[in-house]
Amino acid sequence: MGSLEEAIKQKEFKDPYNKLVVNLLFTHSYMVSAQNGILKPFDLSPEQYNVLRILRGQNGVPTTVSSIQDRMLNKMSNASRLVDKLKAKELVERRECPSDRRQVDILITEKGLQILNDLHIHMEGFNNQVINLSEEEVILMNNLLDKLRG
């Protein structure tokens, strides 16, 4: 891919902090675009994929839309709308909560689990292809990003 300056055709930045912000935004866009290419044949958006992964992590225990929203990578996503779209694809199901009829429980279906299983090898390959860093560098990058967010 090359340097940020080459990619966006900018000779220099005001300071390294400005460059880092632009670099993070540019890299995010690059990663989302690449991930979209993998998810498209499965008729999933990155946000829908995120919801399915959250539900799989529940290990069969129902959860609420608000709980899904709290755990989403993109906090601006409309979890309720995403769940509706996944329900239409028969990847999740909604159930009335037995202890509180106002609450709706969300569960991943077998079909949803199968799609995640089918996607696993593609995503693993994607991660290995797109992350051009050694394991030591990946650990350092994760620590630095955690530190950046405070």
* Mean of pLDDT over the chain: 91
Residue 93 has pLDDT above 90, yes or no: yes
Note the pLDDT tens digit of each residue in 25-84. Answer: 999 999 999 899 999 999 999 999 999 999 999 999 999 998 999 999 888 889 999 999
pLDDT at residue 1, rounded to an integer? 60
Mean pLDDT of 113-118: 96
78 or 2, higher pLDDT: 78
pLDDT at residue 104, rounded to an integer? 86
- 46-56 helix and 110-130 helix, angle to the nearest 10 degrees: 120
> What count of other Cβ atoms lies within 10 Å of the Cβ of residue 70?
12
Contacts of 26 (CB under 8 A, 6+ apart): 4, 7, 8
Averaging pLDDT over each range in 48-52, 94-98, 99-103, which range is the top one? 48-52
Q: What tokens appear for 32 in the block?
A: 């989302």
**Is 112:94 a contact under the CB 8 Å cutoff?**
no
pLDDT at residue 109, rounded to an integer? 97
Task: State whether CATH 3.50.50.60 applies to domain 10-123.
Answer: no
Contacts of 19 (CB under 8 A, 6+ apart): 4, 13
Entry pTM: 0.85
Closest alpha carbon to 122 in 32, 30, 54, 37? 37
Instruction: Give me the residue spans of the domains in the chain.
Output: 10-123
Q: What amino acid occupies position 32? A: V
